[in-house]
Amino acid sequence: MDGLETQFDETIAADQRIEPRDWMPEAYRKTLIRQIAQHAHSEIIGMQPEGNWILRAPSLRRKAILLAKVQDEAGHGMYLYAAAETLGVDREELTEKLIESKQKYSSIFNYPTLTYADIGVIGWLVDGAAICNQVPLCRCSYGPYARAMIRICKEESFHQRQGYELLLAMVNGTDAQREMVQESTNRWWWPSLMMFGPPDADSPNTQQSMAWGIKRHTNDELRQRFVDMTVPQAAALGITLPDPGLVWNEERSAHDYTEPDWTEFKAVIAGSGPCNAQRIAHRRRAHESGSWVREAAVAYAEKQAAKQEAAA
């Protein structure tokens, strides 16, 4: 046991990858399962707020872009569940945990999409924040997760550009479209800042995750990075970020900004966000009303296997 643990520690220290067949501490495995499952669930639940506008997309080009994006998210969910499966759990089990609310997903998806500008703002801010969180995961110590993240990050980056491009078209459009972009930004700004998790002082797991090479930067470092990257993007759109405290700090070479309302964050995580119940009920309905289909596929495969065996 000691030898294995030493080997594991050496692999981490040398910034090498842990692979599924390698020995790993039980806590490392559990942390990864929790994190990868949460990430997979976020992709799947995230299809709902965006899917809300596919049927009403205002041009066929926008419809194609949105449909392709939501399809990518289903694909991301598949890679991530597959990465989790290398740790000894299966997708069905994780889905059950999701619909029983025993595992979480990103709290951002507990907010509603109320206008088409939300589709652009989700691409710009939510995918932007996700990219800040996820790019470092491409170097995560667990091989299958790191490899899944490389592919996912490329697609997320494409989604972010598409979201921003929609917003550019809208701010160059009618007054109503411009107002829609500003109103949507006002609503999504704070929840986007919350996507990086609580302040470092309130994030007990960060240090262990960093020691294991799962996490590379603290929540506050990533949040700062996001704010600094978003300010010039907002300026290019000609819109205002809804924080009067947002100013450039010459000394720090970074923007000062107001902390989001962490009471709201905790409340949404605890279940009282505007859409928590709706998202889970939707996922549960889809899963349960599809059970007859999954059962049929299993029964058919068994019959086919039996036929082949009889013929052999």
Partner 1 sequence: MSGDENVYDSLTEEHGADTQWAYGHGAFGSGIEDVEAEIASPVPDGVDPSDLAQYCLMLGDDALICSHRLSEWVSNAPELEEEVALANTALDLLGQGRVLLARAAHLGAAADEDVLAYQRGEAEFRNVALAELGDDLDFGRAIARLLLFSTWRLALLSRLTGSRDPVVAAVAGKGVKELTYHRDYAARWTLRLGDGTAQSHDRIQAALDAVWPYVDELFRTSDVERRLVGAGVAVDPAETRAEFDEVLDQVLAAATLTRPQRPGIGTIGGRGGRQGLHTEKLGHVLAEMQSLARQHPGATW
Between residues 128 and 273, which has the closer beta carbon with respect to partner 1?
A: 128
Nearer to partner 1, 57 or 267 (CB): 57
Task: For residue 20, give the nearest of 143, 139, 108 by alpha carbon.
Answer: 143
Q: Give the nearer residue to partner 1 in terms of CB position, either 128 or 191.
A: 128
Give the residue ranges of DSSP H helices in the chain: 2-13, 26-51, 60-85, 91-99, 117-121, 127-134, 143-171, 175-194, 206-211, 219-237, 262-267, 276-289, 291-311
* Closer to partner 1 by Cβ: residue 188 or 265: 188
Rank residues 24 and 171 by Cβ distance to partner 1 and give the closer one: 171
Q: Residue 69: what residue type? A: K
The smaller minimum CB distance to partner 1, of residues 44 and 194, is found at 44
**141 neighbors 9 (Cβ within 8 angstroms):** no
Q: Is residue 181 within 8 Å of residue 167, measured between CB atoms? A: yes
HSE, side-chain direction, 13 A CA sphere, residue 139: 11
CB 52 within 8 A of CB 33: no
For residues 164 and 309, what is the distance between their CA atoms, to the nearest angstrom? Answer: 56
Q: How far is the CB of 7 from partner 1 (least distance, A)?
A: 26
Q: How far is the CB of 300 from partner 1 (least distance, A)?
A: 4
Q: How far is the CB of 140 from partner 1 (least distance, A)?
A: 11
Give the count of beta carbons closer than 10 Å to the beta carbon of residue 9: 13
């509603």: which residue's tokens? Answer: 112
**Integer Rg of the chain from CA:** 21
- Decide if 160 contacts 91 (C-beta within 8 A): no
Quote the least distance from Cβ 230 to partner 1, whole Å.
Answer: 9
Residue 218 is given by DSSP the state -
Q: Which is nearer to partner 1, 217 or 266 (CB)?
A: 217
Task: Tell me which amino acid residue 170 is.
Answer: M
Measured from the CB atom, the residue of 127 and 265 that comes closer to partner 1 is: 127
- Helix or strand holding residue 247 (H, E): strand 247-249
Asked whether 50 and 66 are in contact (CB, 8 A), the reply is yes
